[in-house]
Each structure stands twice: as structure tokens, then as C-alpha cells.
Structure 1
Amino acid sequence: MYIKKIDTFREIDEIKNMLVKDLSLGKTFEKVIESGSGEIYLSYEENEIAGFLMLKRVTALQAAISVFINEKHRYKGIGTELLRFSDKLIAKSSYESVTCEFTKDTGVAHFFEKNGYDLYCHIIEMERSNTLVALEEGSKELLKDTGIVIRNYRDSDYFGWHTVSDIGFYLLRESLGMKPSYYNQLSKSERERLACDSSNRYVMEVKGVIAAVGVIYANKIHLLAVRPDLHRQGYGRLMVSFLINKIIKVNSPEKVTIDVLFGNPAKYLYEQLGFQEVSCHSTYIKCYKPDSRSKAPEGCHTENEILEELRKYGMLRKEKAAYINTFI
């Protein structure tokens, strides 16, 4: 057996034929080829392709991995050899962690656990029809406040977006017991990435303060977050209703989809808005540089400390100082 980088001119069609029955992986493979957003390596045995490894870039610090073994070559250790090969690649890269996702309870988990991956979370995929959301009385009352505006993201929103999204998801992961614990600090690379994707990103301002954020791609709500100290005030319902209607009006899809972490109370809100569970996937993670990322926001290590600062100042004071000194 030997491993080599894919020759997209000669070998791409053979891989597509191998993936005829795996439509999801097939689509991911085609996107990686078209966008150049990853690397693909083939495992050969007796001069035929036995399987392949795909590393898809997610961020500068994280990649997603896929391993596929042709049915006639399974149970020969080829998958394990491909993961060992990926370890060497990642050791030379900037990636701090790699994730893999697969349908829950398919038996794949043991393979990744044996090769150093840990369960990170279960992700529930939900979908609803393409009917517009009619605002309930509570949402209508919120909209009577002329200080509420939902608009596209601007570069000047970066600190507010970070406060809502990164602090919000840090607290959610902690509440769900998702390990390893980590926190995304303010960074210029993140700010540049958000600015380049501003057309897909939306913010909700309440009297000039960013209270909620969301991201949509095609027919999917990719991200939804409400500032943690502003939960249960109707902003989440209003924001997700806006995103649903925006998707339908702009893209006219057959279905609108959203993912939610298993255990996230937001699932009940989505069900009230017409979403139904259609599948559940497991995500496993392997950390290569576990000490390179912050475990928590600087100066705040408990949920109560974070919420108290958000309530008092609308931000974390140390982050605000860092933002002023570094980004403005």
C-alpha cells in the first residue's frame, strides 16, 4: 500500500464513482475540488484506489477530515494508515484541531476513538417548509420599539459580533459539557474573515447595541446567537423568523434547514417555528495543540462572572480594552 496526493486530471472520476452511494460525502468532495479548500490523498493497493483521505480547511486553525475506504478493501487497516498519515500532515500545518462528522450510531465512532479522537457533540439537523413566518404578538410588540434594526454585518460590528457569538457559544459549550474547553479570542484574521462574508451575515441592533447575530447560506441558517444576558426576551424568535423569511424571499428553496446542538434549549424554539428533526450526526475531535488556545475569556472563568459583566457593561471589560488597543 502507498499514499499519494490526488491527480485531479486522472483520478477524480474514479473517486466520484466510488462515492455514488454516499451523496453527502460526494458533494463535499466536489466542493473541495472546485474550491481548492482542502487536500485529498489516495491510498493505493495492488495498483487500484483502495480509499482516500480528505482534509477540508474550516478555519486557519481547524480542519475537517473525511476517510473513505472502498468496500472490497475494508478491514485491512487502510483507514488507520490514512489517519496516521494525516497526523504527519497536520503536525506540519497551522491546524490546532481536526473534526470528523458522521451519522450517529453507525459504528464509525469506535474507529475514530481508537485513533485518538474524542466525542465533541451530537448535531441535530432540522428542516421546515418554505412558508413565511407570521410574527406573533410578542414579536410585533418588540418591533414597535423603533430602536430595533436588523441589517447586514459591517466591519465596525466586529467587537459586538464577537461578544454575542463567541461568548455565547463558549457558554453553551460549557453548559453542555463539551470538551475540550476553548474560547476564541479577538483576532485580526477573524475580523477579516467576517468582513469578507458580510453579505451572508446579519445583526440585530437594539437601541444601537448588537443583541443577536445570524448567518445564512443558500437554504440554511448556519449560525444564530443571542447575547447571553439577553436570552428569553424574544430576540431569538424575532431573529430566526427574520432569517427564515429572508432565505425564502431571496432563494425560494423547497426547505429551510438549521442545525442545533443536542441539549441546546433553542431546539424547542425551532420546533415552535415549524422545524422538525430529520437526522442526527456525531462530531468527533482531535486536538494537536491543546495548550495553544484560551480555555476561557481572560479574567472571567465562570458563567456568573461573564453574565454580570455583560449586564453591567454590555461587554467584557478586558476584551474591550484589548479591542481599543489592538483593533481600532
Structure 2
Amino acid sequence: MNIQKVKKVSPKLKKFQDEEWLISDIEHYGKARNFEKKSYKFMAKDKNEILGVLDLVIEANVAFLEGLVVNHNHRAKGIGKNLLLFAENFAKENKCTKIWTETDEDWEAAKFYKKMGYEICGVHEKHYLGRKGLILTKFF
């Protein structure tokens, strides 16, 4: 056996993955499932000014909040909350049963997510740049 880093997915490799995942899905779920990742970007604007952006990835019935950033001049005005609520509703409409994210433990975002009903489900001692990170989840 020889393990290699794949530089480009060939048609043969794609066919192999598609066929084998189909077999696994049928074995585990009784039918084929769609695990395609879909990415979405939501933006809050006031006239021509961008106030905040939220990036969301949905795979099967799980949503991952990849990023949420609010204009530094407009923080603590409910923009992040409104973006998050919008994304959560979007996730629910798309049959998601949970949403999760990660952030550094000492960021304001950690307090924000807890206030919004997210619970810590994991701690990453050496997160980005060696900082302590939190994995937070909210079930619908």
C-alpha cells in the first residue's frame, strides 16, 4: 500500500468515491443520502454600508457557522444577533437539526453565542495560533 496526497481529483477517483459512499449510505441509512456541502453568505446592509456578514455551511442536516463579523463601528447594536437569527431560521427551513461554531475562549463572541443559547460541547486547547478555543452547538 502507498498513500499519496491528491493534487487533482481524477474522474476515476470521483467515480470511486461516489460509488463507495452510495454503498455506505445504503448500508447505514437504508437509502442514498445527499451529503453535498452548500455554502451561504448573509449580509446586513444599511443603504450602501455593509454592517455585517455571516458565512454558513450546510451538510446533510447540520449547519456550521463558519464566520460572523460585524463592522467595528456598529457593534452592540443587534446586527450580529439579527444575522445569527436569520441564519438559524434558514438552517431550520433547510431541515437542519443543529448549528455549531467555534471561537476563541476569551473573545466576546464566546459570550455572545452562550447568550444566544449555544452550549460548549468541546474545548480545543491549542486552537488557532495556540489559543484556547471553544466548540459551541445549538440544537433545534
Would you say how many aligned residue pairs link Structure 1 and Structure 2?
Answer: 103
| Structure 1 portions without partners, runs of 5+ | 1-35, 127-258, 260-276, 289-328
Residue number in structure 1 paired with 2:63: 63
Residue number in structure 1 paired with 2:99: 98
SS of structure 1 residue aligned to 2:108: coil
Residue number in structure 1 paired with 2:26: none
* Residue 116 of structure 1: how far off its partner (Å): 1.5
Distance (Å, rounded) in 2 between the aligned partners of 1:280 and 1:101 = 11
* Residue 101 of structure 1: how far off its partner (Å): 0.6
Q: CA RMSD in A?
A: 2.2
Distance (Å, rounded) in 1 between the aligned partners of 2:70 and 2:89 = 20
Distance (Å, rounded) in 1 between the aligned partners of 2:61 and 2:126 = 25
Q: Summarize the Cα distance change of 1:284–1:85 in structure 2 as closer, same or farther, 3 Å threshold.
A: same
Residue number in structure 1 paired with 2:120: 119
Q: Answer whether contact 2:63 2:91 (CA < 8 A) is retained.
A: no
* Residue 95 of structure 1: how far off its partner (Å): 1.6
SS of structure 2 residue aligned to 1:67: strand
TM-score calculated relative to the size of structure 2:
0.65
Distance (Å, rounded) in 2 between the aligned partners of 1:112 and 1:100 = 9
Q: Give, as a single letter, the amino acid of the residue that structure 2 aligns with 1:64.
A: F
Q: Summarize the Cα distance change of 1:46–1:115 in structure 2 as closer, same or farther, 3 Å threshold.
A: same
CA offset digits 1:242-274 (Å, max 9, x no partner): xxxxxxxxxxxxxxxxx9xxxxxxxxxxxxxxx
* Residue 122 of structure 1: how far off its partner (Å): 0.7
Q: Answer whether contact 2:42 2:55 (CA < 8 A) is retained.
A: yes
Distance (Å, rounded) in 1 between the aligned partners of 2:40 and 2:101 = 15
Distance (Å, rounded) in 1 between the aligned partners of 2:78 and 2:130 = 33
| Structure 2 portions without partners, runs of 5+ | 1-36
* Residue 99 of structure 1: how far off its partner (Å): 0.6
Residue number in structure 2 paired with 1:86: 87
* Residue 107 of structure 1: how far off its partner (Å): 2.6
CA offset digits 1:140-176 (Å, max 9, x no partner): xxxxxxxxxxxxxxxxxxxxxxxxxxxxxxxxxxxxx
- Larger fraction in strand: 2
Matched, 1:287 2:139: yes
Written as runs of structure 1 = structure 2, the 5 A alignment for 1:64-213 is: 64-65=64-65, 66-125=67-126
* Residue 105 of structure 1: how far off its partner (Å): 1.5
Q: Answer whether contact 2:44 2:51 (CA < 8 A) is retained.
A: yes
Distance (Å, rounded) in 2 between the aligned partners of 1:56 and 1:116 = 19
Q: Answer whether contact 2:39 2:56 (CA < 8 A) is retained.
A: yes
Residue number in structure 2 paired with 1:152: none
Residue number in structure 1 paired with 2:53: 52
* Residue 61 of structure 1: how far off its partner (Å): 2.2
CA offset digits 1:214-257 (Å, max 9, x no partner): xxxxxxxxxxxxxxxxxxxxxxxxxxxxxxxxxxxxxxxxxxxx
Name segments (4+ residues, structure 1) moved above 4 Å. none
TM-score calculated relative to the size of structure 1:
0.29
- Larger fraction in helix: 1
Q: Give, as a single letter, the amino acid of the residue that structure 1 aligns with 2:134.
A: S
Larger Rg computed on CA atoms: 1
* Residue 117 of structure 1: how far off its partner (Å): 0.9
Identity of aligned residues (%): 25
